[in-house]
Structure 1
């Protein structure tokens, strides 16, 4: 046992599963986490299996002391992602992380992001046309949000990262990239919660591992193919980027240079593309999907957002860069949705040098930490009546601890693409609200599940009606 954790309380333990058995029921994971947070005052320990022990943090006052550092992801917890995402910004640390973070930061400068708003609008309008056709064809007005929104965010990323204009939103068969992402994330969670499968020796003898490796190959084949095509194009036409209205993410990766004139290697480019495809697609889809569901759940808030959208957009069916800053109430509503339904429910860190918390606890090198964003966003010490959906919580800047609202993490290792994601979410939701009234499905209640990104085990359906 790590000496730093020996005095921490813990829930009841199983001889083999450790404390992991408390989270086997995927329908009650969040309720269990909240219950433990209250019981142990936001700080406790637990094992996932007979050996692997970590500290659980669910209170803002403790989380801020970890998030405010550049400590890397938990080397064990995130090691399962390594085969897929390689050494991109999400998983790298130390000098490599600092160098590549510095090289990639210009890719998310406002001047780069501005032209993307037109692409967000194009993708959102393609979704609107798809839903309108569904209503006109008499196919019913019930929509499964995550399916359609995932395709839309994939469409958007393909345009913004690679400059690829596809018809993936209208394909009859599910896009192979989307299929592979969903399968890989499901298998990763299945492995993480089952101590028997934590051993690589055992895992790679199971059918799950064969499916995992097959789908990883599909994902890599897709991204490598597009990267090679762009490299060949730039080699044949060196002035290609000079005559474009905007730069794709891959153009910036291929042209990035550090202070010594050295660029990213082919492997580094592939790792960053895989990382951004994963983080920019699935997390954004979850954020938009739950925001639309919450708008359907709270019709008065929805109507107030729609009135603002109509006033800002007028007759236009495109959200401009300047429009984004005018959608103030929609922004507050989106932030509240990200609070109650964080797209990434938890993150993990690993202590690389000894630290002392404000409560006097000494953390030794190697301590693994599990941070529940879901619980931080419900910390009653920070959020009054945390169960209430109230956009006005976000009306004033600076009235709450900066680490109380962390849908994109916080501190030095915050999400580099958070402005990209927020802009896409706002533009998409605005265009949908301009065209449709969203309503709840009677009797439906989602069953949120703590996967890599937030999912509902029983889907996320809503009803749509054309705006009168």
Structure 2
């Protein structure tokens, strides 16, 4: 009896375990099958990349990390060595299953930029959470629409009215420097000051907003957030595991980026809200006339009013894009120029002599005077060659491409034009690491049409390049009239390739007030 009961109990338990275990085993088998399919998919993806890139040799890769360890320190000198060893292009592997073709040859660049391939979704999708979808990462008809609507904001007649505003912001910074330095030779990290000053210029010129950010510390968090945000995005880009949204969002970097984005978005929302409130004023037309020009925000709001397809998300994205891109690119460009002029005092003095001959004591500066600064302009161009603010641009091929040497790639491949590599290519530039402004003199101007691309080229070139060059000229002219600059040998500058190239630990210069 007891034996029969035990047997019955065992059979019942076995039946329950079998029925309970069946869903578990089915789930396990299903997950294993999915994992196997994913593994096969990744294996085939790697084999396809190896096949497509077989014509392009590359530096040795790690089976898991790709080239990540090679570039882990972010030193641009590594790229320069690769450019010299591998002519025209090389595949850069990000992990075992993702690779881009980096190109840095002017003929390759010309072929690449003559096409209408869309921006690489893979590279630019990581920016969407921070800046939305604006001119930087839009493609197709929507990009064309936005470009057409926003171009009037950078018309020469508009830019002319900016010069006086730019000079006001520069003089605020220079007055701060005079208080810090007095009559003494003072070591100062100029990068943080340049960052605030270029933000001040952008807010006044593009958004007609007097923020007093150079004297009001409440904007410090925004400046720090833009720098940290670009750092996080680059870390994500070159870490294969962070390409998966779930892994990145659960990581400390993902959490920090969300905090950074809150700061950036709050700043953008404040800009738009401030203007919309002012437009409710009965005297808004008078206010517009007082400014003497329609600024970028006027044009964006008008575009939204006249085009139902231009949504609030579009408006927000374009304001955010111009805040980040317009601020970081110019602050990087002027900072590197000042560093190069401090590093080569003979060129600094030539620029100063030219500027004194044009501006006198610098009590005023006009648009027409900017075009007279020929030697200063050559120094600006040479500095942008050595340290282009945007180190690369990328496209995803919509159709196969064949380069001038006969090597080709299929559709779907991501191609990255390394502007840094192009500008430092010894096959393109003689002694590329030497600061030589005379490269850009009319007598020596026989370079390839696509050898120098600090603002890209073709229909997708930088919409704000004329604004940037004008701003850099105003800034450097007024600085050189009031200060002499020298480098500090114990604090060398290290380039770091974030979204825009930045100094790793600031730019320390000795500043001395001129009599």
Q: Given the two structures, how large is their TM-score scaled by the length of structure 1?
A: 0.94
What corresponds to 2:481 in structure 1? 434
What corresponds to 2:374 in structure 1? 328
Instruction: For 2:474 and 2:133, locate their aligned partners in 1 and report how far apart those are by CA, in whole Å.
Output: 31
What corresponds to 1:6 in structure 2? 54
Instruction: For 1:424 and 1:314, locate their aligned partners in 2 and report how far apart those are by CA, in whole Å.
Output: 19
Q: CA deviation at 1:102?
A: 1.0
Q: CA deviation at 1:257?
A: 7.3
Residue number among 200, 204, 210 corresponding to 2:249 in the alignment: 204
2:422 matches 1:370? no
Q: Where do 5+ consecutive residues of structure 1 fail to align?
A: none
What corresponds to 2:166 in structure 1? 120
Q: CA deviation at 1:161?
A: 2.0
Residue number among 13, 16, 24 corresponding to 2:64 in the alignment: 16
Secondary structure, in 3 states, of the residue corresponding to 1:449? strand
What corresponds to 1:302 in structure 2? 348
Contact 1:446-1:456 at 8 Å conserved across structures: yes
What corresponds to 1:392 in structure 2? 438
Higher helix share: 2
Asked which structure has the greater CA Rg, the reply is 2
Structure 1 stretch displaced more, 283-292 or 442-451: 442-451
Cα distance change of structure 1 residues 74 and 141 upon mapping to structure 2, 3 Å threshold: same
Secondary structure, in 3 states, of the residue corresponding to 1:256? helix
Q: CA deviation at 1:62?
A: 1.1
What corresponds to 1:146 in structure 2? 191
Q: CA deviation at 1:172?
A: 4.6
What corresponds to 2:8 in structure 1? none
Q: CA deviation at 1:106?
A: 0.9
Q: CA deviation at 1:166?
A: 2.1
Q: CA deviation at 1:381?
A: 2.7
Instruction: For 1:435 and 1:63, locate their aligned partners in 2 and report how far apart those are by CA, in whole Å.
Output: 41
Instruction: For 1:215 and 1:458, locate their aligned partners in 2 and report how far apart those are by CA, in whole Å.
Output: 20
Secondary structure, in 3 states, of the residue corresponding to 2:426? coil
2:308 matches 1:248? no
Deviations 1:199-221 (A, max 9, x none): 11111111211110111121111
Secondary structure, in 3 states, of the residue corresponding to 2:122? coil
Q: Where do 5+ consecutive residues of structure 2 fail to align?
A: 1-47
Secondary structure, in 3 states, of the residue corresponding to 2:335? helix
What corresponds to 2:32 in structure 1? none
Q: CA deviation at 1:427?
A: 0.3
Deviations 1:128-182 (A, max 9, x none): 00000102397x7111121110011011111112211122112356622112111
What corresponds to 1:404 in structure 2? 451
Structure 1 stretch displaced more, 87-96 or 42-51: 42-51
Structure 1 stretch displaced more, 249-258 or 432-441: 249-258
Instruction: For 1:242 and 1:442, locate their aligned partners in 2 and report how far apart those are by CA, in whole Å.
Output: 50
Structure 1 stretch displaced more, 272-281 or 396-405: 396-405
Cα distance change of structure 1 residues 356 and 117 upon mapping to structure 2, 3 Å threshold: same
Q: CA deviation at 1:398?
A: 5.3
What corresponds to 1:456 in structure 2? 503
Q: CA deviation at 1:58?
A: 1.9
Instruction: For 1:85 and 1:132, locate their aligned partners in 2 and report how far apart those are by CA, in whole Å.
Output: 36
Q: How does 1:343-362 map to 2 (within 5 A)?
A: 343-362=389-408
Contact 2:356-2:481 at 8 Å conserved across structures: yes
Contact 2:149-2:299 at 8 Å conserved across structures: no
Contact 2:401-2:410 at 8 Å conserved across structures: yes
Instruction: For 2:222 and 2:303, locate their aligned partners in 1 and report how far apart those are by CA, in whole Å.
Output: 27
Deviations 1:80-121 (A, max 9, x none): 111112110000000001111111111111011111111110
What corresponds to 2:103 in structure 1? 57
Secondary structure, in 3 states, of the residue corresponding to 1:76? helix
Q: CA deviation at 1:234?
A: 2.0
Structure 1 stretch displaced more, 119-128 or 345-354: 345-354
Q: CA deviation at 1:66?
A: 1.0
Q: Given the two structures, how large is their TM-score scaled by the length of structure 2?
A: 0.86
What corresponds to 1:25 in structure 2? 73
Contact 2:182-2:513 at 8 Å conserved across structures: no
Residue number among 322, 328, 342 corresponding to 2:388 in the alignment: 342
Instruction: For 2:143 and 2:219, locate their aligned partners in 1 and report how far apart those are by CA, in whole Å.
Output: 35
Q: How does 1:182-197 map to 2 (within 5 A)?
A: 182-197=227-242
Structure 1 stretch displaced more, 97-106 or 446-455: 446-455
Instruction: For 2:291 and 2:434, locate their aligned partners in 1 and report how far apart those are by CA, in whole Å.
Output: 47
The count of aligned residue pairs is 464
Q: CA deviation at 1:225?
A: 2.0
Structure 1 stretch displaced more, 124-133 or 338-347: 338-347
Contact 1:380-1:386 at 8 Å conserved across structures: yes
Q: What's the RMSD between the two structures over aligned residues?
A: 1.9
Cα distance change of structure 1 residues 137 and 183 upon mapping to structure 2, 3 Å threshold: farther
